[in-house]
Chains A and B, each alone.
Chain A
């Protein structure tokens, strides 16, 4: 116990005196709230406002009524575009072609072909195209209904079946993207914050020849690894705590109700999140230490460990594409936690048994890694980085 206390206090002293590593650890915590703040602002703006769309309209003079109804929806002719936006809209090249026979065909009750040309796969065009289509369809429908009414026909005859949509998603789900981002960031923080410390305590110490000295001392390798792990994961935990508290602070400045979201980080959510993330912090640090000890030198350790950071970034994204999730994803580290986090953000009830079980699996995998590392440190190959 004296030994473990000495090992841990030395690791902590070293970690907290390494200013640069600490700064790197904490940038993640500061970045996340800012990113989430900016993202939400942008999303609210897009959801609430209908910004002006500029379209090249050929043959506008044949259909003044249609142009007027487009104008009412803030869809304007490219000619009227202000100079600073003109070039960007010209590049997007949205165009509507109205045939010169428009008026004649309208009077004759014939079907009119109107051309909408654009790059439909371009993401930036999607919202303008959607708006143009709805506006024109509504205009056409209004005329069609009037024609029927004039002929004394009930317009409801056109719609024998009407779908009434009942959305079962809870009001919170609309803020899904923001909460997904937060989940991703928290996982990343768990992985990123402890990283500089983990590499420094393993590959760094070996490179500075202090690890060899320590391994000649009468202290079991399990204690050494455990002390290093505790130190790195403590810093990861601090990173997660900081991210979470700063985010809940910054989110309070945004009026998310505008997009129908009641996104709130109350005491319950925060407790559940911390219970989820603390085991992940330990697991992440153990994984990083393991990979760093396995590598030949500091450089290799750095590049190998940065690959591990891909894990928390990729797993939640991959999970989004898997529709029929197999059961084992629920309790595996990272995937299990991110699935529970999803439920948590949706406002669905959290299965505490599942939460405890994933935590348990994560912790036992961590312990396994620690024992494996302790074994590796007894072999001369790892200690002296022989090939």
Chain B
């Protein structure tokens, strides 16, 4: 279970806060990325985060990994505060980040092995886990090649494999389907659905409405660092009075007189 309470995060312009005169006024040059965002992603559910570019989705997820420190508010994973106990919280996470790179001098197998070992897997158990994930993501042909020169989709697969190899209780995926071919997207969807059945908590951000509509049990719409609306895809459609999620989404974030305002 992932809980986010009242997260606030501002980038830049922080020095000016020292002067009381500037206090509480909106500082020039600073960007308010998160402005009191709260939501909960439950176990056994797939939660989708929707939002326009620059809405604060990635900042929110980065705060979940403990990579960024929130100015205010907190993130709690399975009852563990991310700031107070980052290692224990991260051990319960499988992460597919926004920016990712590969160790280009390692093979795909070695790379997955590396992350499996970091999560404390060892011995036969580790090798079985790696073999299983490679088979599931249909990567046998890639496994023993060095990752230098992999295509975008192949790189995504390696990153997904390393995020999922230790079968974490919670998945956090930042646009996991960008650059994947149709087959792999379907594999990933099935994979996520399967984990949902097992009671894992899955949180992912996406720009593909059909995918969100098909896959998600609950949708969170973020705009300007705030929660704009949340509910099942159907509830959101009803809320906006539209039949398509895409239309509902545009309506909810689109105007100042939107539903959330």
Contacts and interface: CB of A to CB of B under 8 A. Distances in A.
B110 A13 contact: yes
Contact of A5 (B68, B87, B103, B117): B117
A52 to B, nearest CB: 58
A217 B90 contact: yes
A383 B118 contact: no
Interface string A1-15: 011011100100110
Contacts of B103: 10, 14, 210
B67 A210 contact: no
Interface string B102-120: 1111100010011101111
Contacts of A6: 113-114, 117-118
Interface string A219-244: 11000000000000000000000000
A333 B101 CA distance: 37
Interface in A1-60: 2-3, 5-7, 10, 13-14, 17-18
Contacts, number: 77
A216 B106 contact: no
Contact of A217 (B102, B104, B110, B115): B115
A5 B159 CA distance: 21
Interface residues of A, number: 27
Contacts of B117: 2-3, 5-6
Contacts of B119: 217-218
A215 B118 CA distance: 11
B101 A218 contact: no
Nearest to A224: B118
Contacts of B105: 13-14, 17-18
B95 interface: yes
Contacts of B113: 6
Contact of B88 (A2, A14, A215, A218): A218
Task: Choose among B67, B118, B122 the residue with the greatest number of A CB atoms under 10 Å from its CB.
Answer: B118
B48 interface: no
Nearest to A383: B67
A219 B119 CA distance: 8
A212 B67 CA distance: 8
B120 to A, nearest CB: 6
Nearest to B115: A217
A380 B69 contact: yes
B24 interface: no
Interface string B76-105: 000000000011111101010101111111
Interface in B118-139: 118-120, 122
Interface in A173-232: 205, 208-210, 212-220
B99 A2 contact: no
A219 B118 contact: yes
B106 A14 contact: yes
B97 A212 contact: yes
A210 B104 CA distance: 10
Interface string A341-372: 00000000000000000000000000000000
A10 B104 CA distance: 12
B176 interface: no
Given A10-B106, A14-B106, A216-B90, A208 B101 contact: yes
A103 B67 CA distance: 94
B87 A212 contact: no
Nearest to B116: A6
A224 B120 CA distance: 15
Contact of A3 (B88, B97, B99, B118): B118
A216 to B, nearest CB: 4
A284 B229 CA distance: 54
A17 B146 CA distance: 11
A218 B67 contact: no
Interface in A366-387: 380, 383-384, 386
Contacts of B65: 216
A209 B100 CA distance: 5
Contacts of A7: 118
B56 interface: no
A215 B67 contact: yes
Given A3-B118, A217-B119, A209 B99 contact: yes
Nearest to A206: B101
Contacts of B100: 209-210, 212-213
Nearest to B88: A218
Nearest to A7: B118
Contacts of A205: 101
Given A6-B114, A6-B118, A220-B87, A210 B66 contact: no
Given A2-B122, A13-B106, A14-B105, A219 B69 contact: no
B120 A210 contact: no
A213 B93 CA distance: 12
B83 to A, nearest CB: 11
Contacts of A18: 105
A208 B104 contact: yes
Given A6-B114, A210-B102, A380 B68 contact: yes
Given A6-B117, A10-B103, A218 B87 contact: yes
Given A213-B100, A380-B67, A380-B68, A218 B106 contact: no
Nearest to A17: B105
A10 B103 CA distance: 9
25 contacts: A2-B120, A6-B113, A6-B114, A6-B117, A7-B118, A10-B114, A13-B110, A14-B105, A205-B101, A208-B101, A210-B100, A210-B103, A212-B100, A213-B101, A214-B118, A216-B67, A216-B90, A218-B87, A218-B89, A218-B90, A218-B91, A218-B93, A380-B67, A380-B69, A386-B11
8 shortest interchain CB distances as A-B pairs: A6-B117, A209-B101, A218-B91, A218-B90, A208-B101, A216-B65, A17-B105, A210-B101
Given A208-B101, A383-B67, 9 more contacts: A2-B117, A6-B114, A216-B95, A217-B90, A217-B95, A218-B93, A218-B119, A219-B87, A380-B67
